[in-house]
């Protein structure tokens, strides 16, 4: 009888284990559900004109293409936009894993790490990336192939697209990196000080430096773009509902002319995405 009682107790314990485990395991809240619950999108941002910066001529007010774009999306979705954490180009998605923010609210060029580690939105602009050199350097005019040499140094941001693009497009060349949280001046100064020979970027990304430092840099002449890149935002991986919501809001904004308005407001050279319709004259 005693043996039967012990056997019954053991079997009962085994039966209760799954339910006890289930009771102690709480399903992780998705990013989409958290955004719906709090009515807030927490943005990671990169301080880099013309995307997001402080306008010190206007009392340090936050401004920029991404600032205006995300606030327009927030208004469209009836959600608050919170600028939660400043990140660098080389570590832009790290906070997704720990849930520190809900979106990478920065216009970025996709590369392998971004494709692998988070979901990317539809393009809001397209950008032509060219090599830039010191103003007196004409070595590469008319011949991009000359950049692919062991004695040529590319200025890059460690872990960022600039590094990955230089390595893939010009694998024989050397790279000189600055930290992921570096500002654009550090990246560019590698060229002007002679530490590196060339950098790959678009005009808008370094326009602020060019305006403040005329005659320091020049675009390599008579060569095609190294790449044409879409400019996208980032959402955590495995978040299809969040991804679709943001894409829907972006598509609505594109179709209704927001990207033209922002391009004109900030005087950029970005190429516009196509709208999903063609106007017909009655």
Pick the closest to residue 124 from 142, 140, 105, 138 (CA basis): 105
The answer to whether residue 170 is domain-embedded is yes
Please tell me the distance from the alpha carbon of residue 220 to that of residue 129, in angstroms, as a whole number: 11
* Cα 120 from Cα 234, distance rounded (Å): 5
pTM: 0.83
Token pair 């002449």 in the structure block, residue? 221
The answer as to whether 279 is a domain residue is no
Structure tokens at 151: 């004695």
Burial 168-188 (b: 16+ CB within 10 A, else e): ebbeebebbbbebbbebeebb
Residue 58 lies in a domain: yes
Same domain, 170 and 184: yes
Together in a domain, 133 and 223: yes
DSSP conformation class of 27: P
Q: Which residues contact 78 (CB under 8 A, 6 or more apart)?
A: 39
Chain centre to alpha carbon of residue 108? 3
Instruction: Tokens for 100, please give them.
Output: 């520190």
Please tell me the total count of domains within the chain. 2
List the domain range (segments joined by +) for residue 184.
Answer: 127-228
73 and 205 fall within a common domain: no
Look at residue 271 and tell me if it is in a domain.
Answer: no
Please, is 90 exposed, middle or buried when counting C-beta atoms within 10 Å of its C-beta (0-12, 13-18, 19+)?
buried
Give, in degrees to the nearest 5, the angle at Cα 107 between 56 and 101: 85
Angstrom distance (rounded) from CA 179 to CA 183: 9
Same domain? For 189 and 199 the reply is yes
- Domain of 106: which CATH number? 3.40.190.10
- Each of the 282 residues of the chain gets a pLDDT tens digit; together they read 455 444 444 444 545 555 444 444 568 899 999 999 999 999 999 998 889 988 877 777 899 999 999 999 999 999 999 999 999 887 888 899 899 999 999 999 998 888 998 999 999 999 999 999 999 999 999 999 999 999 999 999 998 889 999 999 999 999 999 998 777 788 999 999 999 999 999 999 889 899 999 999 999 999 999 999 999 999 999 999 999 999 999 999 999 999 999 999 999 999 999 999 987 777
The answer to whether residue 25 is domain-embedded is no
CB count in 10 Å sphere of residue 249: 20
């Amino acid at each position: 009888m005693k043996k039967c009682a012990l056997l019954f107790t053991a079997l009962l314990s085994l039966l209760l284990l799954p339910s006890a485990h289930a009771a102690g395991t709480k399903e992780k809240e998705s990013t989409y559900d958290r955004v719906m619950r709090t009515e807030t999108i927490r943005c990671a941002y990169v301080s880099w004109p013309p995307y997001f910066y402080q306008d010190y001529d206007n009392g340090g007010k936050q401004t920029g293409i991404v600032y205006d774009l995300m606030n327009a999306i927030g208004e469209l979705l009836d959600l608050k936009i919170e600028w939660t954490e400043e990140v660098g180009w080389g570590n832009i998605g790290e906070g997704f894993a720990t849930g520190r923010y809900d979106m990478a609210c920065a216009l970025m060029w996709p590369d392998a790490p971004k494709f692998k580690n988070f979901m990317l939105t539809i393009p809001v602009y397209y950008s032509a990336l060219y090599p830039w050199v010191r103003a007196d350097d004409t070595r590469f005019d008319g011949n991009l192939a000359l950049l692919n040499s062991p004695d040529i140094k590319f200025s890059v941001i460690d872990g960022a697209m600039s590094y990955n693009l230089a390595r893939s497009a010009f694998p024989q060349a050397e790279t000189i990196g600055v930290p992921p949280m570096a500002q654009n001046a550090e990246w560019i100064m590698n060229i002007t000080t002679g530490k590196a020979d060339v950098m790959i970027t678009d005009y808008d990304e370094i326009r602020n430096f060019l305006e403040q430092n005329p005659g320091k840099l020049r675009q390599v002449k008579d060569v095609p773009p190294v790449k044409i890149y879409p400019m996208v935002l980032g959402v955590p991986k495995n978040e299809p509902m969040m991804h679709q919501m943001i894409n829907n809001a972006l598509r609505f904004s594109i179709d209704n002319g927001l990207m033209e308005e922002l391009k004109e407001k900030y005087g950029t050279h970005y190429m516009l995405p196509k709208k999903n319709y063609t106007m017909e004259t009655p």
